[in-house]
């Protein structure tokens, strides 16, 4: 066999392997996109055609957008996103083009989820991407009002003030829906939209927590009772099943924190008298995802799926990971997240929590 033939065969084999790898990557991306679209559609299936809530949104530049004044006049295009979200980054140039194209015809709002983001990171991202549309950072309130389930997640509200579309991918279907709401005539009837009321402060350090019954993904009830002879201290770990692997490259500090807390609690749960509970976000999460998470990491901690975000709201949580420690009388003694600064101090507190 000639040297030239051998080289040709090696080159051909390498080309074939690269092609297969690229095809697999493309297939995986398609799978994630389809899954995201399904989740977004599912989140909005009962909302399309119903009145969107009245809310006032404050941008990072200090401007206020009163949606009650927008409804009935022009459509609203909202996109939830995060700086660490890869498909969000990919969609941002097109998002900016839409904002520049429609101008005053559409009220565009870019809602950063606030998860592992802050004004500094969002402002830097805006500058890097050359974004000019109104941007706000959520504290969890907007996510609950608009049923956030994936990132990116976009939704359209028509000129009558009703939900018209929910989606994840920036495709032809979305652009058809956008063109349709833009082409509508302004509503001739008075728009009556519900006012969304959401107290996001939740339990803070020093507050007394009421007794709770939590249901795990195994359909086991955890009765959490305080101020009784048998009451235990309680530690709650708010997390996402994707936190460790998805954020490993785009937000490594948060990824590492999620890993450190999980490993620490696994160790603590074997010898501690504390009742440890893990509570999962509903963002990019489901019972199946949590079962996969438990299998992948071998965790034995009880997992509660916060399907409707009621626990995240109750405890005022919007960061992953967040740790809340409660004494046996129901008093919150610590509440800390990766965004609070020295998270290592929080880990030390957890280590000594007995």
Would you list the DSSP string of 174-219?
A: HHHHHHHHHHSPPP-S----PBP--------TTPBPPPEEEEBTTS
- 150 with 236, same domain? no
Structural domain count of the chain: 2
Evaluate whether residue 18 is within a structural domain: no
- 340 with 221, same domain? yes
- 150 with 283, same domain? no
Predicted local distance difference test score (pLDDT) of residue 3: 57
- 55 with 106, same domain? yes
Assess contact for 324 and 332: CB atoms under 8 A. Answer: yes
Whole-number Cα distances in Å, 208 to 211, 225, 274, 317, 321: 10, 12, 17, 16, 22
pLDDT in tens, the chain (354 residues): 555 544 545 555 555 444 444 444 334 445 889 999 999 999 999 999 999 999 999 999 999 999 999 999 999 999 999 999 999 999 999 999 999 999 899 999 999 999 999 999 999 999 999 999 999 999 999 999 999 999 999 999 999 999 999 999 999 999 999 999 999 988 777 578 888 877 668 999 999 999 999 999 999 999 999 999 999 999 999 999 999 999 999 999 999 999 999 999 999 988 778 999 999 999 999 999 999 999 999 999 999 999 999 999 999 999 999 999 999 999 999 999 988 877 888 889 888 887
Evaluate whether residue 198 is within a structural domain: no
- 305 with 176, same domain? no
The Cα 222–Cα 213 span in angstroms is 5
Residues 6+ apart with CB under 8 A from 169: 33, 36, 37, 87
- 217 with 271, same domain? yes
Number of H helices, E strands in the chain: 11, 14
What's the CATH number where 265 sits? 3.40.30.10
Evaluate whether residue 206 is within a structural domain: no
Say how many C-beta atoms besides its own lie within 10 A of residue 133's C-beta. 18
- 269 with 161, same domain? no
This prediction has a pTM of 0.89
Domain boundary among 183, 204, 220: 183
- 48 with 104, same domain? yes
Give the torsion through C-alpha atoms of 327, 331, 333, 336, to 10 deg.
110
Evaluate whether residue 203 is within a structural domain: no
Whole-number Cα distances in Å, 102 to 38, 72, 117, 160, 181: 27, 17, 28, 18, 12
Provide φ and ψ at 269, rounded to 5°: -65, -20
Evaluate whether residue 89 is within a structural domain: yes
Q: End-to-end CA distance of the chain, in Å?
A: 72
Domain boundary among 139, 166, 183: 183
- 137 with 179, same domain? yes
Q: Is the dihedral of CA 89, 98, 150, 134 positive or negative?
A: positive
Provide φ and ψ at 280, rounded to 5°: -95, 140
The Cα 110–Cα 154 span in angstroms is 9
Evaluate whether residue 78 is within a structural domain: yes
- 255 with 343, same domain? yes
- 223 with 319, same domain? yes
Structure tokens belonging to residue 212 = 């709770």
Whole-number Cα distances in Å, 143 to 47, 147, 148: 14, 6, 5
Of 349, 335, 346, 304, the C-alpha closest to 203 is 335
- 108 with 156, same domain? yes
Evaluate whether residue 262 is within a structural domain: yes
Range of the domain at 265: 212-351
């Amino acid at each position: 066999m000639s040297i030239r033939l051998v080289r040709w065969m090696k080159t051909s084999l390498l080309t074939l392997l690269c092609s297969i790898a690229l095809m697999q990557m493309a297939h995986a991306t398609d799978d994630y996109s389809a899954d995201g679209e399904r989740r977004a559609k599912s989140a909005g299936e009962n909302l399309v055609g119903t009145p969107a809530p009245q809310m006032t949104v404050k941008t990072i530049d200090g401007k206020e957008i009163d949606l009650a004044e927008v409804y009935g006049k022009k459509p609203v295009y909202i996109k939830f996103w995060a700086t660490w979200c890869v498909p969000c980054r990919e969609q941002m140039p097109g998002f900016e083009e839409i904002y520049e194209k429609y101008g005053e015809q559409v009220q565009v709002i870019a809602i950063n989820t606030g998860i592992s983001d802050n004004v500094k990171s969002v402002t830097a991202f805006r500058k890097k991407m050359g974004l000019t549309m109104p941007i706000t950072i959520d504290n969890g309130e907007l996510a609950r009002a608009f049923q956030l389930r994936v990132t990116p997640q976009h939704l359209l509200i028509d000129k009558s003030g009703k939900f018209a579309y929910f989606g994840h991918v920036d495709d032809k279907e979305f652009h058809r829906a956008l063109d349709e709401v833009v082409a509508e005539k302004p509503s001739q009837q008075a728009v009556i939209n519900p006012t969304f009321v959401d107290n996001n402060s939740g339990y803070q350090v020093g507050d007394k927590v009421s007794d709770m019954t939590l249901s795990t993904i195994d359909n086991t009830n955890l009765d959490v009772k305080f101020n009784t002879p048998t009451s235990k201290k309680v530690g709650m770990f708010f997390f996402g099943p994707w936190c460790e692997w998805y954020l490993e490259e785009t937000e490594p500090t948060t990824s590492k924190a999620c890993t450190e807390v999980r490993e620490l609690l696994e160790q603590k749960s074997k010898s501690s008298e504390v009742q440890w509970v893990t509570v999962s976000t509903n963002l990019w999460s489901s019972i199946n995802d949590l079962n996969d998470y438990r299998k992948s990491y071998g965790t034995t901690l009880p997992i509660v799926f916060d399907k409707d975000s009621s626990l995240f709201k109750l405890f005022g949580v919007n960061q992953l990971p967040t740790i809340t420690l409660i004494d046996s009388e129901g008093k919150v003694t610590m509440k800390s997240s990766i965004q609070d600064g020295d998270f290592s101090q929080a880990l030390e507190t957890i280590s000594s929590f007995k």
